[in-house]
Amino acid sequence: MVHLKYQKIKEGIKLTIQNELMQALNDSETEIIQIRRYLHQHPETSFHEKNTSKYIKDFYHKLGIETKNFGDGYGFVIDIDSGRPGKSIALRADFDALAIQEDNDLPFKSENSGVMHACGHDGHTAYMMVLAKNLYQMKNKLHGKIRIIHQPAEEITPGGAKSMIKDGVLDGIDEVIGAHVMTSMPTGSIGYHWGETQTGRADFSIKFIGKGGHASMPHLSKDAIVAGSYFVTALQTVVSRNVDPFDTASVTIGSFDGVGSNNAIKASVELKGDVRIMKESTRSTIHQRIETIAKSAAEMFDMKVEIDYNDNYPVLVNDEELTKQVVKSIKDAKIPEIKQVFDCGPQDPSEDFAYFAQERPSCFFYVGCDPDDGMNHPHHSPEFLMDENCLLVAAKGMGSVVLNLLRS
């Protein structure tokens, strides 16, 4: 009986704190949107986020919250210590933008020419700032510690996470949670998956060096365009003939730089490509095949080849037990703005959050932000748009996870 009574008291306290945080976030929705719009107007690309970092830090400093730098770039953290025993969890939000010219007619359209928040990192940062503020203000009612990681440079390798980890950002941390808005999912939905969840990636540059000459005398030349074209064609066999059909992988040539004149044979061409994998065991197979095909093409056409192959972001693997806890936390909170919580399956893009997941049990989940206007607004496009209602969903979803993990 005593145990049951204690459990009821504990549940009552839990409900009170949950209601308090949810109400505080309701009251803060306008602030979240205002911050997001400011960041959207003033985007900065990876490794150049000086003003963005200052803006976020100033927000915390005005609240009397200290910040601490980590890594080679503009990344930093704030720590929320309840003063009570419990877990130490980290929440991560990225804040870099992309080198894209915005093509949206918005009152808060990007003011920086050729730079745009086209992946939603402005939204990630905005909801996290306001959630952190509210968690800090109620820290005496919590248990354990929360570290808020504001990470730069997610979009461009080597990414911002790696140097922050090397600098000790995860020291003393038990688990890491992150989230990403997704235009491919309806607003009001939360997507999740455990195990291999987002692809690992690599990029490469291949340069074929032949001998230029006059178009009327091809026998005196070594045509680099022919070698490059053969390479591209042969590359199509890498996945179709070397990767298990039940696995997921892709190899893409995104650039073939062979510009010249119509009556000249090119001495050299440079190709740039992208590799995506869903199993780390596939990585070396694809790497080896691409190098073999490039060298074989060069030998076949009697020329040199330079290969620059960069294995970078690992496959993002969500911890099964932690992900189940995250899902239960969100479902049990019965947040009215969240209409659906579902297993969305593996996702194609790559994420340097994967580096955190290599170091600690981690969960990276997804927040639907489809504007539902009948149009397509894909990530990394000039027409990217998000339904700003997703920001409150993200804040409440993440907030419910924090409250549950710090009581477990």
**How do residues 78-96 score in pLDDT, each as one tens digit?**
999 999 999 999 999 999 9
Instruction: Please give the average per-residue pLDDT across 87-115, as a whole number.
Output: 97
Which residue, of 260, 294, 311, is where some domain finishes? 311
Boundaries of domain holding 400: 2-198+315-405
In the structure encoding, which two tokens stand for residue 353, read together? 């959050």
For 131-149, the DSSP string reads: HHHHHHHTGGGS-SEEEEE
Q: Residue 207 is part of a domain; what is its CATH number?
A: 3.30.70.360
Instruction: Please give the average per-residue pLDDT across 32-37, as a whole number.
Output: 98
Please check whether residues 132 and 267 belong to one and the same domain: no
Q: What percent of the chain has pLDDT over 90?
A: 94
Q: What amino acid positions are annotated as catalytic residues?
A: 96, 154
- Number of domains observed in the structure of the chain: 2
Please check whether residues 101 and 16 belong to one and the same domain: yes
274-306: b (≥16 Cβ within 10 Å) or e: ebbbbbeebbebbbebbeebbeebbeebebebe
**34 — pLDDT class (breaks 50, 70, 90):** very high
CA distances from 316 to 68, 251, 259, 278, 283 (A): 26, 18, 38, 9, 14
Contact in structure between 377 and 118 (CB atoms under 8 Å): no
User: What is the pLDDT, as a whole number, of residue 16?
Assistant: 87
Please check whether residues 97 and 42 belong to one and the same domain: yes
Please check whether residues 249 and 338 belong to one and the same domain: no
Please check whether residues 167 and 62 belong to one and the same domain: yes
Pairwise CA distance, residues 186 & 66, whole Å: 37
Phi, psi of 248 (to 5 degrees): -125, 125
Instruction: Please give the average per-residue pLDDT across 363-379, as a whole number.
Output: 94
Identify which of 20, 319, 380, 386 has the alpha carbon closest to the alpha carbon of residue 178: 319
Please check whether residues 112 and 220 belong to one and the same domain: no
How buried is residue 106: exposed, middle or buried, by Cβ count under 10 Å (0-12/13-18/19+)?
exposed
* Amino acid code (one letter) for 150: H
Which residue, of 286, 311, 336, is where some domain finishes? 311
Please check whether residues 192 and 204 belong to one and the same domain: no
Please check whether residues 118 and 13 belong to one and the same domain: yes
Pairwise CA distance, residues 300 & 294, whole Å: 10
Least confident of 8-12, 154-158, 174-178, 291-295: 8-12
Which residue, of 285, 311, 337, is where some domain finishes? 311
Please check whether residues 230 and 280 belong to one and the same domain: yes
Q: Going by C-beta distance under 8 Å and a sequence separation of 6 or more, which residues neighbour residue 45?
A: 96, 97, 98, 99, 115, 155, 156
Sign of the CA dihedral with 154 first, then 177, 75, and 171 last: negative
Please check whether residues 121 and 183 belong to one and the same domain: yes
Please check whether residues 65 and 132 belong to one and the same domain: yes
* Amino acid code (one letter) for 135: L
Please check whether residues 185 and 325 belong to one and the same domain: yes
Q: Residue 157 is part of a domain; what is its CATH number?
A: 3.40.630.10
Residue 9 has pLDDT above 50, yes or no: no
